[in-house]
Amino acid sequence: MRPTQAVARPLTRRIMQGAAGRYTVYPNRLHNRSIITLKDHLFFSKAVAEGAGRNGSVKSFGDAPLDLKLAMPKVAGGKGDGQNPEQLFAMGYSACFLGALQLVGARAGKKEIVDKAKVHATVFLGHPTDANMEGFGLRVELTIEGCEDDALIQAAHEFCPYSRALKHGIDVKINKA
């Protein structure tokens, strides 16, 4: 099945300026979920994006630096000759969820059940159904292969930082350099 051609809507002044110039507040939207905050950190990752946004480049730093050319997918009107943020998100989420699944499996004494599991992540970029929200949104589907234990899969979903971020929200700070 081939995805449909993406249609980009122009950004309005409300989106570009946002509340206090930092982020957008959507009127008539209630957010009744908690935000995960950290008491410490065990690790951090740093990356920088530059150039023409989704057609620019992104670099990470650390033990094994990564330098990628970004490109809009062909189906979205781009050249498709580079990676896109949704690919990177899918890769990170699937790897993180697999790690969480293997950890909870080992803790439950069911290591052999999850040893050969695979996690497939599909990240969809599209327009939100909420008419008051402009721009784009994401939807994620995870498919677990090689593990039929629903309790382990649910435990991994509760443990995985990506799942937690999407379910509960995360603390995001925007700073000027």
Domain boundaries defined on the chain: 43-80, 84-177
Predicted local confidence at residue 78, as pLDDT: 93
* Burial of 14: CB neighbours in 10 Å, binned 0-12, 13-18, 19+: middle
What residues pair up with 124 in beta bridges, in sequence order? 139
What residues pair up with 170 in beta bridges, in sequence order? 36
Predicted local confidence at residue 34, as pLDDT: 77
pLDDT in tens, 13-46: 333 333 333 333 434 444 566 789 999 999 999 9
CA atoms within 13 A on the CB side of 30: 1
CATH T-level fold of 84-177: GMP Synthetase; Chain A, domain 3 (3.30.300)
- Residues of the chain with confidence (pLDDT) below 70: 1-33
Predicted local confidence at residue 9, as pLDDT: 45
Predicted local confidence at residue 121, as pLDDT: 98
Angle between helices 150-159 and 161-168 (to 10 degrees): 70
Predicted local confidence at residue 138, as pLDDT: 95
Q: What dihedral do alpha carbons 8, 14, 18, 20 form, nearest 10°?
A: 160
Distance between CA atoms of residues 93 and 124, nearest Å: 13
Predicted local confidence at residue 32, as pLDDT: 61
